[in-house]
């Protein structure tokens, strides 16, 4: 009895029904639908469901559609939202419109290796035609002096960066030149050379893929190695030593070409490949071991010109403005390539030495030295493809171009001596 009383007072305290003859739930009706209906009708659950459905419907009806890419010649890389309805102007709807400044912006171009010899001349041309240019360079062989005339131009930016590391930028075109090009420099740290060619090219292709930019690779005639076909057509696969001292450059560039084509086939990146033959002109490194700069610098310093081997090996020499015209023509064309860009005029080393003597010093002498490993015996581009498809061919002869280079070298050698 005492127990029962205790239980009753506890139930009273907790306001719990003790026991009732009348069940709190209505007797179960037949079927699952009936029990679901009864579940919904209890405790205003139906009202909550209806209010929820109303709120969800209003949200989906009133919100703008998902962002859709808008194609615009100069902003094709941008992912911009496309409003499907007009709301009263609020800070949010204003942010969804393409700002007028973006629509009017000209082409934006990245030039990797833009502080180097070829890159700096390319930058001059791009800036002159109205593009905004970002140069990426680690200054291994490049110099700020090559670009100093653009400092202060709002359309020009220079970033010290190594292409072996990724970088994020928003541009329309990428000219990928970054790579030491002369044997002296690319043999200095061969592992770094191949890393630049492979990882640097991967990073730049990855960037092109991400932002939808067009990508141009500056490959080289070295992909033909010591050629068994003469002159070299783009269809020739080459004769390259994969384990020699030049392989870091030759095979590095061959891999860079492979990566470029794989990004095109596999990721639909718009790509262009130029195979550049020996090029000369102002702003080349004074002592980079390339034959034209060697001869010119030696003749100006009144030193004998070094000829490796018997001097009968041949090269073709292209003036830098011709190359830059070819690179831009290729980038703007509808053709992937590869395209040979070079001057088919062929000279032996001894003939080149004669032209340098005529231009600088008729008394200049020649010093013969043993040839270097894997030095190609002959090199001459077949440029039929570039002539036909790019409407391009070189215009500047060696005798016209060499004096322009000599003027630049003479000034820099004098500056060095003073």
Ligand X SMILES: NC(=O)c1ccc[n+]([C@@H]2O[C@H](COP(=O)([O-])OP(=O)(O)OC[C@H]3O[C@@H](n4cnc5c(N)ncnc54)[C@H](O)[C@@H]3O)[C@@H](O)[C@H]2O)c1
Catalytic residues: 249
Options 194, 205, 240, 276; binder of ligand X; rule CB under 6 A? 276
The candidate with the shortest Cα–Cα distance to 115, out of 188, 180, 199, 198, is 180
The DSSP-derived string for 131-177 is: -EEEEEE--SS--GGGTGGGTT-TTEEEEE--TTS------SEEEE-
343 is a contact residue toward ligand X (CB under 6 A)? no
Options 108, 113, 307, 329; binder of ligand X; rule CB under 6 A? 113
126 is a contact residue toward ligand X (CB under 6 A)? no
Options 132, 260, 279, 359; binder of ligand X; rule CB under 6 A? 279
Given strand 173-176, what is the order of strands in its sheet? 156-160, 132-137, 108-112, 173-176, 214-220, 271-276, 339-341
218 is a contact residue toward ligand X (CB under 6 A)? yes
Site string for ligand X, 138-177 (x = CB under 6 A): xxxxx-------------------xxx------------x
116 is a contact residue toward ligand X (CB under 6 A)? yes
Written as six digits, the tokens of 89 are 């102007």
Written as six digits, the tokens of 400 are 């016209």
The candidate with the shortest Cα–Cα distance to 398, out of 347, 335, 350, 327, is 347
Beta bridge partners of 368: 307
Q: Give the shortest CB-119-to-ligand X separation in angstroms.
A: 5
340 is a contact residue toward ligand X (CB under 6 A)? no
118 is a contact residue toward ligand X (CB under 6 A)? yes
227 is a contact residue toward ligand X (CB under 6 A)? no
Options 109, 110, 119, 282; binder of ligand X; rule CB under 6 A? 119
Options 123, 134, 158, 178; binder of ligand X; rule CB under 6 A? 178
Name the segment binding ligand X (CB under 6 A); options: 45-53, 201-209, 275-283, 299-307. 275-283
The sign of the torsion formed by the CA atoms of 32, 33, 34, 37 equals positive
Restricting to residues 93-112, which ones interact with ligand X according to CB under 6 A?
112
DSSP 221: G
Written as six digits, the tokens of 126 are 């791009």
180 is a contact residue toward ligand X (CB under 6 A)? yes
Q: How far is CA 418 from the centre of its chain?
A: 39
260 is a contact residue toward ligand X (CB under 6 A)? no
Q: Give the shortest CB-177-to-ligand X separation in angstroms.
A: 4
Residue number with CB closer to ligand X (34 or 239):
239
298 is a contact residue toward ligand X (CB under 6 A)? no
Q: What gap in Å lies between CA 155 and CA 129, rounded to an integer? A: 11
Restricting to residues 399-418, which ones interact with ligand X according to CB under 6 A?
none
201 is a contact residue toward ligand X (CB under 6 A)? no
Q: Are 185 and 113 in contact (CB under 8 A)?
A: no
The candidate with the shortest Cα–Cα distance to 393, out of 325, 317, 292, 316, is 325
134 is a contact residue toward ligand X (CB under 6 A)? no
Positions touching ligand X (CB under 6 A) are 112-113, 115-119, 136-142, 162-164, 177-181, 196, 200, 218, 220, 276, 278-279
């Amino acid at each position: 009895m005492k127990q029962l009383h205790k239980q009753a007072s506890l139930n009273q305290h907790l306001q719990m029904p003790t026991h009732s003859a009348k069940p709190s739930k209505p007797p179960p009706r037949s079927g699952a639908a009936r029990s679901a209906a009864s579940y919904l009708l209890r405790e205003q659950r139906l009202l909550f469901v209806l209010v929820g459905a109303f709120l969800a419907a209003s949200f989906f009806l009133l919100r703008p559609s998902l962002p859709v890419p808008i194609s615009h010649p100069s902003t094709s890389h941008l992912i911009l939202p496309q409003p499907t309805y007009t709301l009263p102007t609020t800070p949010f709807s204003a942010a969804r419109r393409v700002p007028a400044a973006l629509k009017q912006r000209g082409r934006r171009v990245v030039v990797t290796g833009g502080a180097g010899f070829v890159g700096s001349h390319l930058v001059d041309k791009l800036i002159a035609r109205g593009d905004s240019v970002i140069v990426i360079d680690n200054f291994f062989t490049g110099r700020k002096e090559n670009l100093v005339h653009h400092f202060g131009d709002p359309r020009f930016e220079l970033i010290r960066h190594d292409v072996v590391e990724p970088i994020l930028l928003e541009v329309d075109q990428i000219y990928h030149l970054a790579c030491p090009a002369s044997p002296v420099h690319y043999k200095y740290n061969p592992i770094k050379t191949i890393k630049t060619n492979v990882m640097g090219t991967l990073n730049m292709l990855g960037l092109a893929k991400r932002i939808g930019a067009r990508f141009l690779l500056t490959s080289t005639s070295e992909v033909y190695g010591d050629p068994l076909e003469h002159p070299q057509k783009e269809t020739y696969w080459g004769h390259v030593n994969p384990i020699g001292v030049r392989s870091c450059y030759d095979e590095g560039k061959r891999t860079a070409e492979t990566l470029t084509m794989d990004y095109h086939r596999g990721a639909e990146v718009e790509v262009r490949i130029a195979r550049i033959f020996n090029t000369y002109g102002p702003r080349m490194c004074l002592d980079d071991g390339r034959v034209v700069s060697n001869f010119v610098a030696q003749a100006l310093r009144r030193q004998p010109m070094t000829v490796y081997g018997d001097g009968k090996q041949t090269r073709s020499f292209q003036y830098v403005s011709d190359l830059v015209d070819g690179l831009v023509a290729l980038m703007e064309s509808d053709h992937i390539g590869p395209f040979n860009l070079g001057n088919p005029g062929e000279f032996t080393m001894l003939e080149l030495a004669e032209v340098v003597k005529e231009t600088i010093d008729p008394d200049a002498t020649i010093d013969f030295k043993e040839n270097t490993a894997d030095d190609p015996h002959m090199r001459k581009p077949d440029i039929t493809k570039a002539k036909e498809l790019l409407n391009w061919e070189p215009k500047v002869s060696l005798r016209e171009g060499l004096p322009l280079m000599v003027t630049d070298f003479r000034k820099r050698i004098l500056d060095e001596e003073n």
